[in-house]
Chain A
């Protein structure tokens, strides 16, 4: 697959992925555009990758984590999406909104691990490869993230 095809066919998927990583629509657009522009400037190398989409997603993850590092320490991720839906009477919808809010409180690497594991369904080894860390680190990130979500969820439920 070439980059042009990827953008045309999978652009929406890339934006979804970026949005789940960063939780902000504008940031997600900026992230994907930045990464794709960089991919085009290194086109031959990027298109030589065995599987283009995972390669670009890996670029998105790393760019996102780099951006997070560059931000000032006082900056906090957007907790609520700009287009947040109206609360639904359904308990499950409320739960999902609550989980989404809690995801915004996680450190970026922990959140990235959850997105890669539960949205992309990647095995830990692939996540470790994408993040440039050990499998054990992935398990640790995931464990800490899940613990945070559970604790906060339990606190919310009282």
Chain B
């Protein structure tokens, strides 16, 4: 059989297409590819309007140094995202995405209908619909989901048929995974970060887009680019705040910045940075809350922790427990209040009870 195979390959090898014109054909492809790349890298309003271009423009700008965790009393400076994009920050991972992607449209069944972000597997309920064709999606989810039983949003392709390559991003071990999504039926490429138990996967008909988006991924240290601790084992105040006045008021005057960090299962799943007016507005809303004697315990693995910063002196951390088996409320470790009146201010920033992570983008 081996000899017959050799003969067959020799015989049929002679029937292969001729190489005439191969060099010209390759040169034409190279020219087309270069033109396509030029189109992608041109920054401009017209191109920025297109999600693909917005995602890839000025990619080189993300080569900024990894941010240093802010010291207590200093302000956080978030690295700028490439033009036309915004950082998505989740578990200390950052990825630059077109601004429009933060408004992903879903149909009644929760299936994505426009290019955007899908956080922690929200789509895919029991309806018989499917994601829209030819859209680009970033899937953000915990690595534990990879081994869950396959469903309609299954990540089965990541278990079989995908290729994995080890790499290091900002000094953190990661894996690049490439395959074909069994859900969207398109090319799929992602980055797994075991140390963060996190996965970022792009599904798209255009493999080049996945690469460009994933090349923007940065991994922050113990504190993310918006000043949130990436992982916290304690989500409760353990001591009164050190800042003068914080034993009388929830948030003493003079706030100039606030990091709003929502935790789920110890991980920072929402990170927002409020400057000036936004920070002061949140401080005012917290100071206006009615005092409570009930305490603010909530659940042990979920809370919104707001760190208020000042031009100098110690920060003030406020713990907001909006759900959980025990008393909900707000506390800075010395002053405790109820939640009434806070929802309208905090919900747009970090979500509220029973909101999906998707809604907290």
Residues of A within 8 A of B (CB): 4, 7-8, 11-12, 14-16, 18-20, 25-26, 28-29, 32-34, 36-37, 40-41, 66, 69-70, 72, 81, 83, 85, 92-93, 95-96, 99-100, 103, 114-115, 118-119, 132, 146, 149-150, 153
Q: When the two chains form their complex, are residues B33 and A8 in contact, meaning their CB atoms are under 8 A apart?
A: no
Q: When the two chains form their complex, are residues A37 and B2 in contact, meaning their CB atoms are under 8 A apart?
A: no
Q: When the two chains form their complex, are residues A36 and B19 in contact, meaning their CB atoms are under 8 A apart?
A: no
Q: Which of B8, B30, B34, B178 has the most CB of A within 10 A?
A: B8
Chain B interface main SS type: helix
In the assembled complex, B293 has its CB within 8 A of some CB on chain A: no
> Cβ of A8: which chain B residues have Cβ within 8 Å of it?
23
- Given the known interface contacts A28-B17, A100-B12, the answer about A15 and B22 at a Cβ–Cβ threshold of 8 Å is yes
- Given the known interface contacts A81-B12, A96-B11, the answer about A34 and B29 at a Cβ–Cβ threshold of 8 Å is yes
Residues of B within 8 A of A (CB): 1-2, 4-19, 22-23, 25-26, 29-30, 33-34, 161, 163, 178-180, 185, 187
The 8 Å CB contact of B7, one of A26, A40, A92, is: A92
> Cβ of A114: which chain B residues have Cβ within 8 Å of it?
5
- Given the known interface contacts A72-B185, A150-B1, the answer about A11 and B19 at a Cβ–Cβ threshold of 8 Å is yes
> Cβ of B180: which chain A residues have Cβ within 8 Å of it?
69-70
The 8 Å CB contact of B1, one of A28, A85, A146, is: A146
> Cβ of B23: which chain A residues have Cβ within 8 Å of it?
4, 7-8, 11
Q: When the two chains form their complex, are residues B25 and A119 in contact, meaning their CB atoms are under 8 A apart?
A: no
For A146, give the chain B residue with the smallest CB separation. B1
The 8 Å CB contact of A7, one of B5, B8, B13, B26, is: B26
Q: When the two chains form their complex, are residues A41 and B185 in contact, meaning their CB atoms are under 8 A apart?
A: no
Q: A16-B16, A20-B9, A95-B4 are in contact. List 7 more A-B contacts (CB 8 A).
A: A15-B22, A26-B17, A29-B22, A33-B29, A40-B30, A99-B8, A103-B8
For B185, give the chain A residue with the smallest CB separation. A72
> Cβ of B17: which chain A residues have Cβ within 8 Å of it?
15, 19, 25-26, 28-29
The 8 Å CB contact of B13, one of A4, A19, A85, A153, is: A19
> Cβ of A37: which chain B residues have Cβ within 8 Å of it?
26, 29-30, 33
Give the distance in Å from the alpha carbon of A95 to the alpha carbon of B7 in the complex.
10
Q: When the two chains form their complex, are residues B13 and A20 in contact, meaning their CB atoms are under 8 A apart?
A: yes
Give the distance in Å from the alpha carbon of A76 to the alpha carbon of B44 in the complex.
44
> Cβ of A93: which chain B residues have Cβ within 8 Å of it?
11
Q: When the two chains form their complex, are residues A100 and B8 in contact, meaning their CB atoms are under 8 A apart?
A: yes
Q: When the two chains form their complex, are residues B179 and A69 in contact, meaning their CB atoms are under 8 A apart?
A: yes
B320 to chain A, nearest CB (A): 46
Q: When the two chains form their complex, are residues A119 and B13 in contact, meaning their CB atoms are under 8 A apart?
A: yes
The 8 Å CB contact of B19, one of A15, A72, A150, is: A15
Q: When the two chains form their complex, are residues A118 and B185 in contact, meaning their CB atoms are under 8 A apart?
A: no
Give the distance in Å from the alpha carbon of A99 to the alpha carbon of B6 in the complex.
10
Q: When the two chains form their complex, are residues B26 and A33 in contact, meaning their CB atoms are under 8 A apart?
A: yes
Give the distance in Å from the alpha carbon of A100 to the alpha carbon of B10 in the complex.
11
For A11, give the chain B residue with the smallest CB separation. B19
A66 to chain B, nearest CB (A): 8
- Given the known interface contacts A103-B8, A115-B9, the answer about A41 and B30 at a Cβ–Cβ threshold of 8 Å is yes
Give the distance in Å from the alpha carbon of A16 to the alpha carbon of B22 in the complex.
13
A74 to chain B, nearest CB (A): 11
Q: When the two chains form their complex, are residues B1 and A96 in contact, meaning their CB atoms are under 8 A apart?
A: no
Give the distance in Å from the alpha carbon of A7 to the alpha carbon of B24 in the complex.
10
For B187, give the chain A residue with the smallest CB separation. A70
For A70, give the chain B residue with the smallest CB separation. B180
Q: When the two chains form their complex, are residues B8 and A15 in contact, meaning their CB atoms are under 8 A apart?
A: no
- 13 residue pairs of the A-B complex, CB under 8 angstroms, read A12-B18, A12-B19, A16-B13, A20-B16, A28-B16, A36-B22, A36-B29, A41-B33, A72-B185, A100-B11, A118-B5, A118-B9, A132-B163
Give the distance in Å from the alpha carbon of A99 to the alpha carbon of B7 in the complex.
10
> Cβ of A118: which chain B residues have Cβ within 8 Å of it?
2, 5-6, 9
For A71, give the chain B residue with the smallest CB separation. B180
Please name the 3 residue pairs, one residue from A and one from B, whose CB atoms are nearest each other, closest first.
Answer: A11-B19, A37-B29, A19-B16
Give the distance in Å from the alpha carbon of A153 to the alpha carbon of B5 in the complex.
12
> Cβ of A85: which chain B residues have Cβ within 8 Å of it?
15
The 8 Å CB contact of B34, one of A18, A41, A69, is: A41
For A83, give the chain B residue with the smallest CB separation. B15
B241 to chain A, nearest CB (A): 54
A125 to chain B, nearest CB (A): 18
Give the distance in Å from the alpha carbon of A103 to the alpha carbon of B1 in the complex.
12
> Cβ of B18: which chain A residues have Cβ within 8 Å of it?
12, 15
Q: Which of A12, A25, A85 has the most CB of B within 10 A?
A: A12
Give the distance in Å from the alpha carbon of A92 to the alpha carbon of B7 in the complex.
9
For A95, give the chain B residue with the smallest CB separation. B4
B37 to chain A, nearest CB (A): 8
Give the distance in Å from the alpha carbon of A40 to the alpha carbon of B163 in the complex.
24
> Cβ of A41: which chain B residues have Cβ within 8 Å of it?
30, 33-34
